[in-house]
Structure 1
Amino acid sequence: MAMKVEVMSKEVIKPASATPDHLRTIPLTLFDQFMPQTYINSIFFYSITSDNSTVTQATFPHKLKISLSEILTRFFPLAGRIEGTRIDCNDEGALFTEARADILLSDFLRTPDVVSLKQLIVNPFDYLDHGSWPLLHVKVTFFTTEAVAVAASVSHKIFDTASFIKFVRIWAATVKGCVDKVNPQFIASAFYPPADLSVEVPPLMPLRKKSITKRFVFRSSNIHKLKTRVASEHVMNHTRVEAITALLYSAIKGSRSNESFTMTQSINLRPRLPSTLLPPDAMGNLLYSPLLNEDSESEIKITEMVSKLRKTKEELNEIIMEETRGTESTASKLRMIGERIAMEMLSSLSESRAETNVYVMTSFCRMPFYEVDFGWGTPLWIASYVYEMSRLCILMDAKDGEGIEAWVTLPEEDMSAFEQHQDLVAAEN
């Protein structure tokens, strides 16, 4: 059923108090420089009923705005703007949009489609001047019955997924009047070398207009069968994310059999580094994105890809262990690890030919998206969508926490062959 969304209002939300002068400038990092001008988006769908609500539909938008203004004093870069190689924390504010949909949420959730999802988030490409883009967009859409979608979008130039979900959870808790002790630390520039506009770095995720996004759902029972089938003597205890990632890459390669391409998977560094070096509340793009180059002749077997993915993680762990053995100060160790990882990524990037297509995999799995509660309990469903991106796969937990939903964006001419790949069809059905 087609959905029509009408925008009711737009408002700029500024921090409740001014950002101190000594916090007004945050350098971008070399890794930030890799990132395209795109946003991390998630849409949280809720049912509004009397027995699960601590807020009412009438007061909800106001509570969202007040609480957003409050936490922007802690997440002050989100109210700023990007200027060259830095974030100008100028308190210009975040964009808050309120809208209404002409459909029941229950009808929408029966067959959710990407065209409809686009209407529930703010399109950043409406802003022609990159420097004028708000780094945070919020869109709240009420459905025709007691239901609402809360969409949050944060610039990938300054936040990774771990930072994004940390922010959203704290915001939701603030709406309910809960007090947390999280102290976000914007220290990515102490880890990765600073950005340099004189260095031309090709983006890992190039923008492309003619692409298509589809959702693929893998039940836990099918994931278990896949893990059993691809177990090998090299990797016996692979994860469900490794198995699905390898499956998707195998299907992508099958759809482009005569093409060399490069694959990369984003790895969150926080759980891999000692908390004394990198605090859990560290914000920014604190990722490692190794590149795997595949030639046009080879056929990717899922078992081989699982082994390659595991090897990249083991190599990362070895780098961290080597650089933390010394007696240097905490700041020095952090900087050395960041520089070493950055050099590894730049080295692998330099080995890729300019015309080679890059396929990016990122996983939201095991992150607490389904714990985001604005006062109406946990979400009925969560969707993710990235505007104008090509060759991107996003993995998200299903609501049961065991299945996986994959949001796959490919060029239009590649999607048909991809979705008919026999291994993909077998794992999804």
Structure 2
Amino acid sequence: MELEIISREFIKPSSPTPPHHRKFSLSFIDHITVRNYVPLLFFYNDIKVCDQTSKISHLKNSLSQILSIYYPFAGRFKDQLSIECNDQGVSFLVANITETKLSTILQNPTENVLNPLFPDELQWKKMDWNESILVIQINCFACGGFVISVCACHKIIDAATAFNFMNDWAKLNREEGDSNSKLLLPNNLLYAGDTIFSQGNLPKFPEREFVIDKTIVCKRFVFEASKIKLLKNMVNSDSPTVKNPTRVEVVMSLIYKSVISALGLNYKTTSLRMAVDLRKRMVPLLSKKSVGNLIWFLVVTNPESHDLIFKIRQGLCEFCEVYPKKFGGEEKDFSFIFECLKQDTTSVTKSNNDQSWILFSSWCRFPIYEVDFGWGKPIWVTTSTCPVRNAIVLMDTKDGDGIEAIVNMEENDMIMFENDVELLQYASLNPSILCN
């Protein structure tokens, strides 16, 4: 696929960041989070609303406006604990693709055709301290299709933050020119994470790190709603302790079982690690728009396949009784936080080369298919290969009822996994994307 970069610039906030907001302190969760770029792709069908030049101009203007609200994204990291909100802006690229149709990519969406859509091959790359926190590339197809690619630094932008930002940017772009439209996001809600999860006098722990492992390959498995219903029925009949399992629970359980089976692992020595969003579990609740890495990890130790969902629910209940209170509630416990940070930065580093972890992150129910810039909602949203062994990201399908599992494994392990008989009874391997 031939791709030509036709412009490259920095988009700065439409209004300068006030002096009292120039230093943005990171939370104790942010400060240990990796500095790698999380990649996202948003695909839009043939757009006839206006000419390409006009669309790009609107995108720049609305991006400038939204950066006045999400002002840390236009700054630069001062160190591991803070951002200098100096309005340097975010990197914005525009690319033309003339020989390849968008429909061709969607027919067989492999890494070879997806990777060139990202800016400067930044996907999952570790960023330098002085680089742009957010890098955006607008890919314009001759057929009229658009792909907006985003590489967002994980150190300040988790998945929820990224999708909130994209939706707010899209809303401003969609309603540009409407004098009655205003995006009201009070700073005390948007940046509550630093206040509640303040670093305080905690020591500076090392950042989590993962090294780019080129032996990792990524495959996409799609579970349609009808197949998920069958999985739910099976769990209901086989597990009397579990009632009304969710889509995520049954898909996660099947993938976990298939990984164990395909890779020849042992249930007694393999654990599940799952990201938990703290926003909706704090007392009082945090705004769902809160910026930062407001997540911690639930570890389910050595579960058997038949009781995995039960153990996840039990573990999540215990997690919610402890972590929200000790992390930022009235019972905030710095000794507890210290031990969590110490253990996490040690265990995650080890897990990069350790088969004893299976890592899950669910992006389901995030508003990923609501990102409408005025040309309609995206026909597909996806990410790219994550260089962490046995890491799985779960995302909604466009209809909101199915699940796409983005599975990352070593190449030899993937060959075994993608041929797992039970898995393939419920999941399709990299099906084409329907554009209607």
Query: For this structure pair, what is the TM-score category when the shorter chain's length is used for normalisation?
Result: 0.7 to 0.9
What is the 5 A alignment of 1:186-201?
186-194=191-199, 198-200=204-206
Q: For the Cα contact (< 8 Å) 2:220–2:407, is it kept in 1?
A: yes
Which of residues 94, 104, 108 is equivalent to 2:105?
108
Shift of the alpha carbon at 1:363? 1.2
CA–CA distance in 2 between the matches of 1:289 and 1:82? Answer: 25
Counterpart in 2 of 1:35? 33
Counterpart in 1 of 2:2? 4
Letter in 2 for 1:82: F
CA–CA distance in 2 between the matches of 1:343 and 1:209? Answer: 33
CA–CA distance in 1 between the matches of 2:68 and 2:307? Answer: 47
SS for the counterpart of 1:336 is coil
Shift of the alpha carbon at 1:44? 1.2
CA–CA distance in 2 between the matches of 1:338 and 1:106? Answer: 53
Counterpart in 2 of 1:297? none
Which of residues 2, 11, 30 is equivalent to 1:13?
11
SS for the counterpart of 1:66 is helix
Counterpart in 1 of 2:95? 99
Deviations 1:89-134 (A, max 9, x none): 1211101111122211112111111221111112337988611221
SS for the counterpart of 1:99 is strand
CA–CA distance in 1 between the matches of 2:214 and 2:307? Answer: 32
SS for the counterpart of 2:306 is helix
TM-score normalised by structure 2 residue count: 0.85
CA–CA distance in 2 between the matches of 1:426 and 1:339? Answer: 48
Shift of the alpha carbon at 1:339? 7.5
Deviations 1:119-173 (A, max 9, x none): 1112337988611221111111111211111112211100111111111011011
Q: For the Cα contact (< 8 Å) 1:261–1:356, is it kept in 2?
A: no
Structure 1 residues 200 and 126: alpha-carbon distance in aligned structure 2, compared to 1, 3 A threshold: closer
Shift of the alpha carbon at 1:268? 1.3
Deviations 1:254-273 (A, max 9, x none): 23324644431111122223
Q: For the Cα contact (< 8 Å) 2:11–2:63, is it kept in 1?
A: yes
**Is the deviation greater in 192-201 or in 21-30?**
192-201
CA–CA distance in 1 between the matches of 2:368 and 2:168? Answer: 12
Is 1:315 equivalent to 2:318 in the alignment?
Answer: yes
Structure 1 residues 381 and 199: alpha-carbon distance in aligned structure 2, compared to 1, 3 A threshold: closer
Which of residues 68, 75, 86 is equivalent to 2:70?
75
Is 1:118 equivalent to 2:115 in the alignment?
Answer: yes
Counterpart in 1 of 2:242? 235
Which of residues 269, 272, 288 is equivalent to 2:281?
272
CA–CA distance in 2 between the matches of 1:388 and 1:10? Answer: 27
CA–CA distance in 2 between the matches of 1:180 and 1:367? Answer: 19
Counterpart in 2 of 1:247? 254
Counterpart in 1 of 2:182? 179
**Is the deviation greater in 190-199 or in 337-346?**
337-346
Deviations 1:16-69 (A, max 9, x none): 22211211122223322342222232211112344xx3x442311111111111
Consecutive unaligned residues of structure 1, counting only runs of 5 or more, are: 295-299, 325-330
Deviations 1:224-277 (A, max 9, x none): 111111231221122101111122222222233246444311111222234x45
Counterpart in 2 of 1:218? 223
What is the 5 A alignment of 1:197-212?
198-200=204-206, 202-203=208-209, 207-212=212-217
Shift of the alpha carbon at 1:364? 1.3
Letter in 2 for 1:375: G
SS for the counterpart of 2:69 is coil
CA–CA distance in 2 between the matches of 1:258 and 1:332? Answer: 37
Q: For the Cα contact (< 8 Å) 1:183–1:281, is it kept in 2?
A: no
Counterpart in 2 of 1:24? 22
Instruction: Give RMSD over aligned pairs.
Output: 2.9
Letter in 1 for 2:71: F
Q: For the Cα contact (< 8 Å) 2:217–2:385, is it kept in 1?
A: no
Structure 1 residues 133 and 209: alpha-carbon distance in aligned structure 2, compared to 1, 3 A threshold: farther
Counterpart in 2 of 1:327? none
Structure 1 residues 394 and 338: alpha-carbon distance in aligned structure 2, compared to 1, 3 A threshold: farther
Q: For the Cα contact (< 8 Å) 2:77–2:83, is it kept in 1?
A: yes
Consecutive unaligned residues of structure 2, counting only runs of 5 or more, are: 429-436
**Is the deviation greater in 115-124 or in 132-141?**
115-124
Q: For the Cα contact (< 8 Å) 1:9–1:97, is it kept in 2?
A: yes
